[in-house]
Structure 1
Amino acid sequence: MVTATLTAADVRAIVAAVPDPELPVVTIEQLGILRDVRVGDDGRVTVDITPTYSGCPAMDAIRADIVARLAEHGVDDVDVRLVLAPAWTTDWITPDGREALRAAGIAPPHPVGPVGLTLSVRCPHCGSPDTRELSRFGSTACKALWVCRACREPFDHVKAL
């Protein structure tokens, strides 16, 4: 069994590189979905992931991608567990994840402070704060569709949760 030579840090590095199937410009680690990785004394790998919202349809694909990625590295005894508490929050998106979203034309959510008030969403294309929400429903359930009044470009905005 290959996991005897892999540490939890090695396995985490492998799993952390798995892209999110709905937002492939970020990894599951950058998005904050990857919670924990453990390697047991018997070599069994346990990976904990948290969905971005209850019922997220991407979790089955993420689970399959984790198992496939580890199999590529000779790890075949894997348990991928959904951890629902504490619930995922957009605050878990890493700074490089936020930048990757912005660079891909998706407005990252603002960090939520004591008062979850957003006066505007900056356009990821031109940086203008003169934007408006077109639809609360975007290309996936965790995104809304916005448009910039300055450059007139539409863009997805990750909903703050």
Structure 2
Amino acid sequence: MVSCVDRAWALLEQVPDPEIPVVSIRELGILREINERGGTLEVVLTPTYSGCPAMEQIGDDVRAALAAAGLRAEVVTRLAPAWTTDWMSQAGREKLRAFGIAPPHAVPSSQHVLRFQPPRPAGAIACPHCGSANTTETSHFGSTACKALYKCLDCLEPFDYFKPY
């Protein structure tokens, strides 16, 4: 018999991020825990950054997906430990690339400290369209605060780069 918690994980695997709908909240690593507490599920989410404007929508989407399956849920936002791009799944990174967003580079564990700006990538950011490393950052902020805007100097296409945290 499948537990309510296991059912919830499977259901929430399908809930897309509202800002990047090709990846699920689980693939992004913002879905952290699901606990059962007296017939109600506690779903723990950690935003990509504390001011993420999509968190209210994500909470509504989580509650709606679980309610449609007859499961009651309370959504809890947990800010500590802070979200890190290390929590993203490999499948999520590949989906970002296929969607035209360069996935984040790995962040050395020595850089996992509280900071006001994410670390700059150590190597070149490969273009998700043509794969070229001949790219340049045109703006430290892209379509959302968690992304930077880059341009490929070979195919001339602009693209977002998901900043590593």
TM-score by length of 2: 0.89
C-alpha separation between the residues in 2 aligned to 1:121 and 1:27?
23
What corresponds to 2:61 in structure 1? 65
Instruction: Report whether the alignment pairs 1:93 with 2:88.
Output: yes
In the TM superposition, residue 6 of structure 1 has moved relative to its aligned partner by 4.4
Correspondent of 1:43 among 39, 42, 50: 39
C-alpha separation between the residues in 1 aligned to 2:99 and 2:66?
27
What corresponds to 2:132 in structure 1? 128
C-alpha separation between the residues in 2 aligned to 1:150 and 1:78?
48
C-alpha separation between the residues in 2 aligned to 1:91 and 1:150?
29
In the TM superposition, residue 7 of structure 1 has moved relative to its aligned partner by 2.4
Q: What do the CA deviations read for 1:33-84 (whole angstroms, capped 9, x no partner)?
A: 00001123x3111100000001111100000000111111112x31100011
Instruction: Report whether the alignment pairs 1:9 with 2:6.
Output: yes
Tell me which stretches of 4 or more aligned residues in structure 1 moved more than 6 Å.
none
Could you tell me which runs of 5 or more consecutive residues in structure 1 were left unpaired when the two chains were aligned: none
C-alpha separation between the residues in 1 aligned to 2:123 and 2:9?
37
Correspondent of 2:26 among 26, 29, 42: 29
Aligned-residue RMSD, C-alpha: 1.4
C-alpha separation between the residues in 1 aligned to 2:126 and 2:31?
27
C-alpha separation between the residues in 1 aligned to 2:122 and 2:131?
15
Task: Specify the code of the residue in structure 1 equivalent to 2:35.
Answer: R
SS of 1:91 mapped into structure 2: helix
Could you tell me which runs of 5 or more consecutive residues in structure 2 were left unpaired when the two chains were aligned: 112-118
Q: What do the CA deviations read for 1:88-131 (whole angstroms, capped 9, x no partner)?
A: 01111110000000000000001112466522100001111110
TM-score by length of 1: 0.91
C-alpha separation between the residues in 1 aligned to 2:50 and 2:8?
26
